[in-house]
A and B are shown apart, each in its own frame.
Chain A
Amino acid sequence: MPERSTSPGLSPRQVLIILAALAAVSITAFMVIGAKGSWGFVLPFRGTKVWGIAMVGGAIAVATVLFQTITANRILTPGIMGYDALFRLVRTVQIFFLGGLSYATFNAQLQFALETVLMVGLSTLLFRWLFNRAARDLYLLVLVGIVFGVLFRSLAGLMQRLINPNDYAVLQDVMFAGFNTIDKSLLMVSTLAILGTGVWVWRLLPALDVLNLGRDNAINLGVAYRSVVSQVLIIIAILVSVSTALVGPVTFFGLLVSNLAYMLIRSHKHALILPAAVLLAIIALIGGQVILERVFGFDSALAIIIELVGGVVFIAMLLKGNRK
């Protein structure tokens, strides 16, 4: 990780250039190191993997930064609001009612599209309702989100106990994916979804910067607060659906890259923070994969290590916040 960039001498643009270079190095290393046999096979094979990891990392990074902006809190992640719990519940319900076999043979893209639509629909409904109730208190919203997260997890847990062992095996297979088992049939759809939200976020950039000032100041400056926050919540729902569908839930990874991005960029501008967070995510996932797989010869332990580091950072931030 490029700690040296924290020195005040580097402008955000220079930091971005360094990060982009590091990301390029990571990707190249991942593609060529230890390649045996024909390039015609190795490059497309690894390329798909890089592509998938980059998409997922970017989606998690952007979702986390956006979530932290609208909650004005840098230790929250969409995972805390029960977004991925909702996604798991949606999957469990499908297997519960359809059965494992028809689930497994269902058209993957169609299913993914349905799940995403369902996720966006449900979370929008939930947050609309909450926003009208809790009107102005985002902390109440987050708290309710946590409670709903527990509810979703418990409901999914209950159904998982009720289904037959064969269905459960199918379920386990789709629930505990890792960065090594990215579902390639979903990559194209996911890419389209992520690029779409990218354009959407691009158009919201100026308003997002203003949201940094808090709800009252944002309204004072003429941002249609309720509309912008609803849009951001929908974007987060899409990004979390996509990343969870591709690799499964990750809790602390977003926290890690978003806070590193704030630290390195030292600016409030989302036009700088978001690219930095995406690049950091790519460096952490692909660079980390290279080091683990090719240098140390481990398999698939990256997600665990990242979660461990992220968890430690989370605790450190809590303690630091306590001291202030």
Chain B
Amino acid sequence: MIRTQAVSRAYGDTLVVDNVTLDIPACGVTSIIGPNGAGKSTLLSMVSRLLDMSAGSVTVDGLDVTSTPSDVLARRLSILRQDNHISARITVRDLIGFGRYPHSKGRLTVEDRSHIDKAIDYLDLGALSDRFLDELSGGQRQRAFVAMVLAQDTDYVLLDEPLNNLDMKHAMGMMKLMRQAASELGKTVVLVLHDINFASWYSDYIVAMKGGKVAAQGPAPEMIRPDVLSEIYEMDIKVHEIGGQLISVYYG
């Protein structure tokens, strides 16, 4: 379980994340939704020790993220942020191989290679595995980075807007993969998502943030309701049930 205890982050006088106390349940897919500037990515960065907290503490399976050695955490929790600019020339396979660094510190074993091959298969990167990253499209690169995180094989997988740049087919494939990782491998997947229909369809638990605070949280069906969503996004959102799934409509 990921537990945040009164976590805050201030830039100057502005509180971007304001006193957030939150339990993210283990095993399952949790989506964090909310309008721009709600503090979703900032919270995720603090949970994954990429950003120092101004106040509060975060534990992952009881390990305090600020005091636990980085390489110990790297075998338990992985994080992928949105912008991954790389100036070095790296092939897709080598990039995914870096996911094994926490386990083997750069010397790949047979087991590492099987993890890498599996990650390449999962993300449908077989044909691209020997290409250099700077020769790929934004969506292909995004999938390569997700494959790296999968090869890291951690119990907790945190992804900041993983569907960015992906077409419908690959976006759906990505979410199915996360769903499968949670249900079959018992992983805890935490996603920051902008598309509430993806959140509705694939997640077990939804946390909605607004203005740096947690505005609402609960199992997905309880969150995808017109009153809850309209309140969070400050716009008129209707919810329809289509084929047993809750779908939000907010166009026009």
Residues of A bordering B, CB below 8 Å: 68-69, 72-74, 135-136, 205-206, 209-210, 212-217, 219-225, 262, 266-268
Say which one of B84-92, B166-174, B226-234 lies at the interface with A: B84-92
In the complex, are the beta carbons of A216 and B87 less than 8 A apart?
no
Chain B residues lying within 8 Å of A266, measured Cβ to Cβ, are 89
Chain B residues lying within 8 Å of A74, measured Cβ to Cβ, are 87
In the complex, are the beta carbons of A212 and B152 less than 8 A apart?
no
In the complex, are the beta carbons of B89 and A222 less than 8 A apart?
no
Complex Cα distance A20/B95, Å?
29
In the complex, are the beta carbons of B88 and A206 less than 8 A apart?
no
Q: Is B205 an interface residue (CB 8 A)?
A: no
Chain A residues lying within 8 Å of B188, measured Cβ to Cβ, are none
Complex Cα distance A206/B104, Å?
10
Would A221 and B101 be within 8 Å (CB), given that A209-B106, A216-B50, A268-B94 are in contact? yes
Complex Cα distance A55/B152, Å?
40
* 4 nearest A-B residue pairs (beta carbon): A222-B74, A206-B106, A222-B71, A268-B88
In the complex, are the beta carbons of A223 and B86 less than 8 A apart?
no
Complex Cα distance A222/B49, Å?
10
Complex Cα distance A223/B49, Å?
12
In the complex, are the beta carbons of A220 and B51 less than 8 A apart?
no
Complex Cα distance A205/B50, Å?
22
What are 11 inter-chain pairs, A to B, with CB distance below 8 A? A68-B87, A74-B87, A135-B52, A213-B95, A217-B84, A217-B145, A220-B80, A222-B102, A262-B89, A268-B88, A268-B89
In the complex, are the beta carbons of B70 and A73 less than 8 A apart?
no
Complex Cα distance A217/B71, Å?
12
Q: Is B99 an interface residue (CB 8 A)?
A: yes
Q: Is B225 an interface residue (CB 8 A)?
A: no
In the complex, are the beta carbons of B88 and A212 less than 8 A apart?
yes
Beyond known contacts A136-B51, A209-B98, A217-B145: 17 more, CB 8 A cutoff: A68-B87, A69-B88, A212-B88, A220-B48, A220-B50, A220-B80, A220-B149, A221-B74, A221-B98, A221-B99, A221-B101, A222-B74, A223-B70, A224-B69, A224-B70, A267-B89, A268-B94
Complex Cα distance A316/B98, Å?
32
Q: Which residues in window 62-112 of B have CB below 8 A to A?
A: 69-75, 78-81, 84-90, 94-95, 98-99, 101-102, 105-107
Chain B residues lying within 8 Å of A216, measured Cβ to Cβ, are 50, 79, 81, 84
Complex Cα distance A136/B94, Å?
26
Would A219 and B70 be within 8 Å (CB), given that A209-B106, A267-B89, A268-B90 are in contact? yes
In the complex, are the beta carbons of B152 and A221 less than 8 A apart?
yes
Complex Cα distance A209/B98, Å?
9
In the complex, are the beta carbons of A206 and B71 less than 8 A apart?
no
Contact of A206 among B50, B101, B152 (CB under 8 A): B101
In the complex, are the beta carbons of A72 and B98 less than 8 A apart?
no
Q: Which residue of A lies closest to B89 (CB)?
A: A266
Q: Which residue of B lies closest to A206 (CB)?
A: B106
Determine how close the nearest CB of chain B comes to the CB of A167; give it in whole angstroms.
45
Chain A residues lying within 8 Å of B69, measured Cβ to Cβ, are 222, 224
Chain B residues lying within 8 Å of A219, measured Cβ to Cβ, are 48-50, 70
Q: Which residue of A lies closest to B94 (CB)?
A: A268
Complex Cα distance A210/B183, Å?
31
In the complex, are the beta carbons of A220 and B74 less than 8 A apart?
yes
Complex Cα distance A221/B96, Å?
12
Complex Cα distance A68/B90, Å?
16
Complex Cα distance A217/B84, Å?
8
